[in-house]
Structure formats: structure tokens, C-alpha cells
Amino acid sequence: MDAALHYVVRQPKKVAENPPLLVLVHGYGSNELDLFSFAEELPDELLIVSLRAPYEMGYGGYAWYAINLDASNNKHSDLDQASVSLQKIAALIDELKDLYDTAENKTFLLGFSQGAILSYALSFNYPNKVQHVLALSGYINEDLMPTVAAKNINTDYYISHGTVDQVLPIEWARKAPIILNSFGLQHVYSEYPVGHGVAPQNFFSFKKWMEERL
């Protein structure tokens, strides 16, 4: 693999020897400063690291993997690029844990849209590397699931989606609780009357969910 991912950091406001770690994974065509914009509003205990995807799209936008349209206008994800991005995120999480001596068993992974898709995938392909996944406006892409189902995953999930999401249909998101139930995994699922974005009440809801796990 080539160069490691670029990222920005918000140090914990409450200094502790082993801070809990929150990793932010942006959506398609965005960058590391997007989700980082609300970092100041998140719990003071957290060490927050926001990642930049490796594939440059121009105009300050980046992608974790390409999305291609076929002749019938069907979308196809570049699974090879997605797999490389997963490896890079997983490797960086390990580096961050070592570098900052973060709290064992208190790693949060928050992804939006394409970032949420990869957050789900990472939790299954690298079992228990993260304890808490927040999947905002995403879905479980079964093509990115491991061929052998991981055993003894202890990760729990916060899932939210807009009911009028014009980018990723709500029907795709509604499959996630069914899949997680089949693995016996804990999750909270909520819907908001918004498009492809995060409503203010959604933000307060996932912030509270995080605080309960710190």
C-alpha cells in the first residue's frame, strides 16, 4: 500500500492518560474538514481524528472508492478501491491507538454516507478493532462483507437515515438492523424527515449515545 491517510486531530479538552478515540470518515466527494466541523461540539473526553480519503476527485473533494455508472445508469462501487481504503483505515486506527495511547475498548468510528458504508465493513472485516460504530446516512454493502462471518463481535451500532434521502434510499438503510439482528449485534436505529444529511436532533441523539459509552 502507498502513503498513509492524511488526517486532522482535535485533542481531548479533558486531559486523560488514555483518551477514548473517535475516528471520523467522510462521505464521497468531501474531505477531512467536513465532519470535523462539529468536532468542537462532541464530548470533551474524546481524541477526535478526521480522515481524508485517498482518491482525489478535484476541487478539494476525495473518495474512499469510485462509483461508476453503467450503460443503464446503474451504480457500481469499485470494490478493489474500497478494500484498499478499508486496509488503510484499519492500519491507521492501530497507529493512532499506539501513538496516543488511547483507552482500550473505547474506539468509536463515525462514518457518513460512503464513510458509513466503510465503517460497517470495517467492523466485520476487522472484528473488535472498534467498539462503537455510528453509521449516518449509509447502508451495509454485502459485497464488502467477509466471506466467513466473523465470530464474537462485540461492536454496537448507532444508525440514522433521512426518510427522503435522494442519494441512498431509506430502504437500503432499513436492511441494516435486519442484518445486525441476524448476527445478534446491539444497535439503535432511527429515521429523520430529512434528505442526505444530519438533522440537529439527529446530532444530539448520537452525541448522547456516545456519552453513554464513554
DSSP string, 44-86: TT-EEEEE--SEEEETTEEESS-EEE-TT--EEE-HHHHHHHH
Tally the domains of the chain: 1
In this prediction, residues 181-200 reach a mean pLDDT of 96
Among residues of the chain, what percentage have pLDDT more than 90?
89
pLDDT score at 74: 78
- 210: cell is 456516545
Is 1 part of any domain?
no
Query: What CATH number is associated with residue 158?
Result: 3.40.50.1820
pLDDT score at 2: 60
Look at the block and give the residue holding cell 442526505: 196
The model carries a pTM of 0.96
Q: Which domain holds residue 83?
A: 7-211
Strand partners, 109: 23, 133
Judge contact between 118 and 82, C-beta under 8 A.
yes
- 30: cell is 468531501
SS3 of residue 141 by DSSP: coil
Is 2 part of any domain?
no
Report residue 69's pLDDT band, with 50, 70 and 90 as the boundaries: confident
Is 74 part of any domain?
yes
Mean pLDDT across the chain? 95
- pLDDT, one tens digit per residue, over 164-190 is 999 999 999 999 999 999 999 999 999
